[in-house]
Amino acid sequence: MQIITAIKEMQEKIAQYKHNGMTIGFVPTMGFLHEGHLSLVQEAKQKADLVVMSIFVNPLQFGPNEDYDRYPRDIVRDEQLAKNAGVDILFYPEVTEMYKDTRYFHISVSGLVDVLCGSKRPGHFDGVVTVLIKLFNIVLPTYAFFGKKDAQQVAVVMKMVEEFNFPIKIIPVETVREEDGLAKSSRNVYLTSEEKQEATVLYKSLQLAKTLIEEGETNSRSIIEKMTRFIQNHSQGNIDYIEIYSFPNLKPLPNLQGHVLVALAVRFTNVRLIDNILLEI
């Protein structure tokens, strides 16, 4: 596995591989890798000739009161996990390499971000889109792989690629979970042992919603009310939101039909967790 930290070197390497007709599978991450990230690598290995992973904790997507400074980092561990998973190139730039002292252009996302996490984290997706535009132009991937756990991010990235005419195919990958259903996340390390048990309520409430829908319930408000009661009765977590939208357009669905996203966020003492399910009705 090659480790590259400079943008120019990364671009030169990619140019060589693309000149030889190779397809590039790209897995962008913020590091502290877990099985969810590695499942993206496995998907990339099946699709592409060369797998590139980036590790970059992007400061632009963190708000002033969020956890940028304490976001978990362990590059030595990540390098070994990436190598063992079969990553061909690990791109690991410093913040000063990705962002110069003065930025003359600022990306603003005006659609798809007034719901879910976007409504709770103003400017978050501006930062996500900014770094992805840069990474896509550096890596020039054929395919880019994203976990479905961040469903709003998937929707935003798909629209970004369409609107800016990137010649990239976005491939969403199923959420990887613990045996108890808890979605894998780098932020799970902030849960206490008791909270980690309680956090299974996120997935259980989503399964409750799935069961209700399969039994014929199509009223969003009714499903959300039942999910809310379930979470409140089975954990100390504070519900940030439970919302149901069409996917990938993220439009309200008073009565469920078509591609449906059921998503939620719950706050525990030191961490906010998200999860979702996608259904076809």
Tell me the CA distances in angstroms from 123 to 108, 109, 117, one per residue in order. 8, 8, 11
Could you tell me if 25 and 113 lie in one domain?
yes
Is residue 28 predicted with pLDDT exceeding 90? Answer: yes
Q: Please name the helix (run of DSSP H) or strand (run of DSSP E) that holds residue 44, with its range, or none.
A: helix 35-47
182 CB-side CA count, 13 A:
19
Which of 147, 173, 199 is the endpoint of a domain? Answer: 173
Helix (H, G, I), strand (E, B) or coil at 133: helix
Strand order in 272-280's β-sheet?
238-246, 259-267, 272-280
The CATH number given to whatever domain includes residue 143 is: 3.40.50.620
Average pLDDT on 239-252 reads 97
Could you tell me if 235 and 153 lie in one domain?
no
Residue 67, pLDDT score: 85
Q: How far is CA 278 from the centre of its chain?
A: 15
Residue list, annotated binding site for beta-alanine? 61
| 86 occurs within a structural domain | yes
The CATH number given to whatever domain includes residue 243 is: 3.30.1300.10
| 279 occurs within a structural domain | no
What pairs with residue 239 in β-bridges?
Answer: 266
- Cα 181–Cα 169–Cα 19 angle in degrees, nearest 5: 130
Could you read off the pLDDT of 133-159 as tens digits, one per residue? 999 999 999 999 999 999 999 999 999
Is residue 65 predicted with pLDDT exceeding 90? Answer: no
Is residue 192 predicted with pLDDT exceeding 90? Answer: yes
pLDDT bracket for residue 2 (50, 70, 90): very high
Could you tell me if 165 and 194 lie in one domain?
no
The average confidence (pLDDT) of the chain is 97
The count of structural domains within the chain is 2
| 180 occurs within a structural domain | no
Residue list, annotated binding site for ATP? 30-37, 147-150, 176, 184-187
Which amino acid makes up residue 221? R
Residue list, annotated binding site for (R)-pantoate? 61, 153
Both tokens of residue 255? 């009565």
| 168 occurs within a structural domain | yes
Tell me the CA distances in angstroms from 49 to 45, 111, 132, 209, one per residue in order. 7, 34, 21, 40
Q: In the chain, pLDDT over 70 holds for what percent of residues?
A: 100
Q: How far is CA 186 from the centre of its chain?
A: 11
Q: Please name the helix (run of DSSP H) or strand (run of DSSP E) that holds residue 75, with its range, or none.
A: helix 75-85
Could you tell me if 111 and 226 lie in one domain?
no
Q: How far is CA 49 from the centre of its chain?
A: 23
pTM for this model (two decimals):
0.94
Could you tell me if 51 and 159 lie in one domain?
yes
Express the helix, strand and coil content of the chain in percent, nearest 5 each: 45, 20, 35
| 35 occurs within a structural domain | yes
Distance CA 154, CA 148 (A): 7
Distance CA 210, CA 102 (A): 48
Residue 163, pLDDT score: 96
Distance CA 38, CA 34 (A): 6
Average pLDDT on 57-70 reads 92
Could you tell me if 198 and 144 lie in one domain?
no
| 246 occurs within a structural domain | yes
Which of 148, 173, 198 is the endpoint of a domain? Answer: 173
Structural domain that includes position 59: 2-173
| 126 occurs within a structural domain | yes
Could you tell me if 119 and 60 lie in one domain?
yes
Could you tell me if 197 and 159 lie in one domain?
no
By annotation, the residues acting in catalysis are 37
Residue 227, pLDDT score: 98
Q: What are phi and psi of 246, to 5 degrees?
A: -70, 155
Residue 212, pLDDT score: 98
